Amino acid sequence: MGAKQQNVALELRIAMLQEAANHDPTEQAERSDESHIDLLKQIDVVIAQQKNTTSTLQDTQSKQVELETELGRLADKQLDNGPPYSIRMLDQLRDAIAADKAKRESLENSLLTARETLEQTPWRRIIRLIAHYHEPDGLVISPRQR
């Protein structure tokens, strides 16, 4: 996802520089450039949110694995803590696993929603525009250079 975000940031910087370099463009071109910049900013924000959600999801998944391992050791009487094991400790572990599962599901839903947002019609158009202005060698070509 870092590459996507870098490409969008690069495209945004290029669009902003082009906007600053143009001293007397037509009003329609200005609106188009502003709209393009706004859409690129929105894409950049969505990518950052997606990256953050993915990171949080991975952290939650690793914590869930740790808690499930600890719960399994408790069931097999292999905990580092010596007996007696309390019912309260078992309940805490189960509650922690349940909370992590709920958080994981919520994060997965958030990630799915972010992906669906990117795939909606206006975003597809912008993604196609971005792809259109990227050459195979990775260079970004502005609309005015084509």
pLDDT of 47 higher than 80: yes
Note the pLDDT of residue 17: 75
Q: Is residue 28 part of a domain?
A: yes
Mean pLDDT of 85-102: 86
Mean pLDDT of 51-61: 89
Cis, peptide link before residue 84, omega less than 30° from 0: yes
What are the helix (H) ranges across 2-120?
Answer: 2-21, 27-75, 87-119
Q: How many domains does the chain have?
A: 1
Candidates 117, 116, 115, 146; CA nearest to 132 is 146
Q: Is residue 144 part of a domain?
A: no
Q: Is residue 61 part of a domain?
A: yes
| Coil/strand/helix, residue 126 | helix
Quote the percentage of the chain above a pLDDT of 90: 5
125 vs 117, more confident: 117
Q: Is residue 77 part of a domain?
A: yes
Q: Is residue 139 part of a domain?
A: no
**Exposed / middle / buried, residue 56 (Cβ in 10 Å: 0-12, 13-18, 19+):** middle
pLDDT of 37 higher than 70: yes
Q: Is residue 141 part of a domain?
A: no
What number of other Cβ atoms are within 10 A of residue 61's Cβ?
Answer: 15
Note the pLDDT of residue 102: 92
Domain that holds residue 21: 2-133
Q: Is residue 94 part of a domain?
A: yes
| Out of 33-37, 94-98, 137-141, least confident range | 137-141
Q: Is residue 116 part of a domain?
A: yes
pLDDT of 138 higher than 80: no
What is this structure's pTM? 0.39
